[in-house]
Amino acid sequence: MQAQEIEIKGIKNGILIELKDGEWEDQKDALLSHIDDNLAFFKSARIVLDVGDRSLKSPDLSGLRNTLSDRDVKLKAVLSTSLVTERASQDLGLEIKLDESSPEPEKSSINSMLDGDEAIFLHRTLRSGHKVKYQGHIVVLGDVNPGAELIAGGNIIIWGRLRGVAHAGAGGDTSAVVCSLDLSPTQLRISDKISVSPPRKGKPHPEIAFLEDGQVTARDWAAGK
């Protein structure tokens, strides 16, 4: 599994990684190699690993869990259509389903009249090969380097430099925006409209990109839409 084949999906309280077709040992080694190359991204992360229909036994999963733990990465759950893998996961105390029923934090403790939207927050730099997809908003405290890709159903806000690919409003939301302290993407897309950054003129400054008259437009972030 090459780095560009690893698809990272932001989920509630973790990261979902789906293994591609291939031998288990090859896929495991490639996954660990990718994590080693991007330790800053995966440090302290909780991973949900989708292994498809592979039949894995307890030693396979415990070995992977221990190796990930050595890298400060927690294997939280293993998803599989194989009963053998499910049993092995349960024997090790691993979850076998996505946790979608966890109670939300008590809203009564928050004194606010404003409704919020779903978002994923990433406090790290995204490097080449990272691909983050989320149905809500994506907020990044860090840089998005060339070769990295963000796909959001809502807005994308980057407190750092955008050098990779950003697609906001992926579900067709034409009101979505992309904001960055340095907006120089390889490709920027809002809904179904695509734009490529022209050569920079002058010093970088915070900008917001949005759709105006059916075209992707960028202006000073402070000025807003």
Q: Does the pLDDT of residue 225 top 90, yes or no?
A: no
**Buried b vs exposed e over 181-206: b needs ≥16 C-beta within 10 Å?**
ebbbbbebbbbeeebeeeeeeeeeee
Same domain? 23 vs 63: yes
Last residue of a domain, one of 51, 71, 91: 91
Last residue of a domain, one of 73, 91, 109: 91
Between 110 and 172, where is the model more confident? 172
CATH number, residue 198: 2.160.20.70
Return the structure tokens found at 41.
């991204």
Domain count, the chain: 2
Return the structure tokens found at 12.
């509630």
Q: What percentage of the chain reaches a pLDDT higher than 90?
A: 46
Q: What percentage of the chain reaches a pLDDT higher than 70?
A: 84
Neighbours of 41 (CB within 10 A): 21
Interacting residues of 123 by C-beta distance below 8 A, sequence separation 6+: 141, 142
The answer to whether the pTM exceeds 0.75 is no
Same domain? 47 vs 83: yes
Q: Does the pLDDT of residue 111 top 90, yes or no?
A: no
Same domain? 86 vs 133: no
The distance from CA 225 to its chain's CA centroid, rounded to whole angstroms, is: 26
Q: Which residue has the tokens 């698809």?
A: 7
Q: Does the pLDDT of residue 44 top 90, yes or no?
A: no
Q: Is 134 within the bounds of a domain?
A: yes
Question: Tens digits of per-residue pLDDT, 186-220?
Answer: 999 999 999 876 666 668 889 999 999 989 998 88
CATH number, residue 62: 3.30.750.24
Res 114: pLDDT: 52
Give the DSSP letter of residue 86. H
With contact defined as beta carbons under 8 Å apart, do 133 and 149 qualify?
Answer: no
Same domain? 139 vs 203: yes
Return the structure tokens found at 155.
């807005």
Q: Is 20 within the bounds of a domain?
A: yes
Question: Tens digits of per-residue pLDDT, 129-154?
Answer: 888 988 889 999 999 999 999 999 99
Same domain? 131 vs 212: yes
Res 104: pLDDT: 44
Residues of the domain holding 186: 119-223
Res 116: pLDDT: 62
Same domain? 53 vs 134: no
Same domain? 139 vs 196: yes
Angle at which helices 58-70 and 24-37 cross, to 10°: 10
For the residues 163-182, what does the mean pLDDT come to? 94
Res 102: pLDDT: 43
Between 169 and 22, where is the model more confident? 169
Same domain? 86 vs 127: no
Q: Is 108 within the bounds of a domain?
A: no
